[in-house]
């Protein structure tokens, strides 16, 4: 079907290029073509779909560049992405992760590519450490992003307890794994760590098969604090000491908070740690403009905290 639609799009474009201006071609010609194709092949050739086929061919003028693993519904979403690098990335991710067309649409609407790109751009702005740690940092930045969007939870306006968010994430674990990104598997909830007769409980534990390491997540309502960072630092150290296997990379700790703190980001171990990170979560899906402004704000803060914004 995808190949047939591509060929129809090619015929439409070639017909236009033979001297028929698009305006002249317009509604009447599309209506005639719709009638002919519908009579011969059935549904799927209405005027709107024909315009999509034309754009499909214009976006992918070489058939060998079209990935047949994706459906026509995938491509109807992909042709609306103007940025070619972003479009190519979404194609690759859709195939590797077996995204449905609905999952692809959700990730594009949430600016998945832009958020991941924003996260990657933090690395050059931070101080470089040992070579081994730097390698882990680069790989980690390929996975983590900021912000995360929890619109699939339908959280109430007033969230009283962090446990409410935790329970909602567990109830929607499949969508949460999609939001986390590639390679994650759920390990445990409220995992108990016992050290010298003292107990610690980690909200959520995952394992990433690409990074070959555990990811510890701590959920926080309100503004990020130094205490939150210190607590996660303890979790990561204990986990590395008692749970990390010899062939695992160092454990990563991610604090998901509803509000970031510029001071904590700049003056805590978060500023140069290769194992501790913080990200903001949004309980709703903002508009694309709002999300872009959020990414620009985060990027500005990173520049300022690195000293390059002075």
**Residue 83 per-residue DSSP state:** -
What tokens does 151 get? 């619109």
pTM of the complete model beyond 0.75: no
Characterize 21-51 residue by residue with b for buried, 16 or more Cβ atoms within 10 angstroms of its Cβ, and e for exposed: eeeeeeeebbeebbeebeeeeeeebeeebbe
Could you report the per-residue pLDDT of 183-199, keeping only the tens digit for each? 899 999 999 988 887 89
In this prediction, residue 136 carries a pLDDT of 42
Residue 84 and residue 79: Cα distance in Å, rounded?
10
The predicted pLDDT at position 191 comes to 94
Residues of the chain with pLDDT under 70: 17-32, 35-36, 38-44, 119-139, 141-142, 157-158, 265-267, 271, 298-310
Residues 220/259, Cβ–Cβ less than 8 Å: no
Query: Given this model, what pLDDT does residue 29 score?
Result: 67
Element of type H or E holding 58: helix 47-59
**Listing from the earlier edge strand, what are the strands of the sheet with 184-195?**
148-149, 276-282, 252-259, 213-223, 198-208, 184-195
Structure-token pair, residue 212: 């070959």
Q: Tell me, what's the pLDDT at 135?
A: 38
β partners of residue 219: 256
* Non-local CB neighbours of 290 within 8 Å, separated by 6+ positions: none
- Helix runs in 98-225, H state only: 101-109, 112-120, 131-141, 162-171, 173-180
Give CA angle at 208 (217, 147), nearest 5°: 50
DSSP-derived 3-state class of residue 221: strand
pLDDT of res. 279: 87
- State residue 30's pLDDT score: 67
Whether 144 and 162 have beta carbons less than 8 Å apart is answered as no
**218, 231 Cβ separation under 8 angstroms:** yes
Let me know how long the chain is.
310
CB 46 within 8 A of CB 33: no
Q: Which positions ≥6 away from 142 have C-beta within 8 Å?
A: 116, 120
Asked if residues 258 and 242 have their Cβ atoms less than 8 Å apart, the reply is: no
CA distances from 54 to 32, 80, 101 (A): 15, 12, 20
Who contacts 189 (Cβ-Cβ below 8 Å, separation ≥6)?
Answer: 166, 170, 203, 204, 205
Phi-psi region of 157 (alpha: psi -120 to 50; beta: other; left: phi over 0): alpha
Q: Do 39 and 83 meet the contact criterion of CB atoms below 8 Å apart? A: no
pLDDT digits 0-9 by tens, 48-105: 888 888 899 999 999 988 998 999 999 999 999 999 999 999 999 999 888 999 889 9
């Amino acid at each position: 079907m995808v190949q047939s639609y591509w060929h129809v799009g090619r015929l439409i474009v070639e017909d236009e290029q033979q001297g028929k201006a698009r305006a002249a071609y317009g509604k009447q010609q599309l209506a005639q073509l719709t009638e002919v194709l519908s009579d011969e092949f059935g549904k799927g050739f209405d005027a709107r779909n024909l315009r999509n086929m034309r754009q499909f061919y214009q976006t992918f003028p070489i058939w060998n560049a079209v990935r047949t693993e994706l459906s026509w519904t995938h491509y109807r979403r992909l042709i609306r992405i103007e940025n070619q690098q972003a479009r190519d990335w979404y194609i690759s991710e859709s195939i590797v992760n077996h995204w449905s067309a609905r999952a692809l649409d959700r990730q594009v609407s949430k600016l998945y590519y832009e958020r991941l790109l924003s996260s990657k751009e933090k690395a050059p702005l931070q101080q470089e450490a040992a070579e081994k740690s730097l390698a882990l940092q680069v790989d980690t930045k390929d996975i983590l992003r900021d912000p995360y969007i929890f619109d699939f939870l339908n959280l109430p306006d007033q969230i009283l307890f962090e446990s409410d968010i935790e329970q909602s994430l567990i109830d929607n674990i499949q969508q949460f794994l999609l939001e986390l990104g590639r390679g994650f598997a759920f390990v445990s909830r409220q995992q108990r760590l016992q050290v010298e007769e003292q107990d610690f409980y980690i909200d959520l534990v995952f394992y990433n098969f690409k990074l070959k390491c555990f990811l510890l997540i701590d959920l926080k309502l309100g503004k990020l604090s130094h205490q939150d960072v210190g607590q996660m630092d303890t979790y990561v150290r204990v986990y590395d000491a008692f749970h990390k296997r010899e062939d695992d990379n160092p454990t990563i700790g991610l604090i998901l908070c509803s509000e970031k703190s510029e001071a904590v980001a700049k003056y805590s171990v978060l500023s140069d740690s290769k194992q501790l990170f913080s990200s903001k979560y949004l309980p709703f899906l903002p508009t694309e403009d709002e999300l872009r402004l959020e990414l620009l704000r985060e990027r500005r803060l990173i520049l300022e905290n690195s000293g390059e914004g002075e």
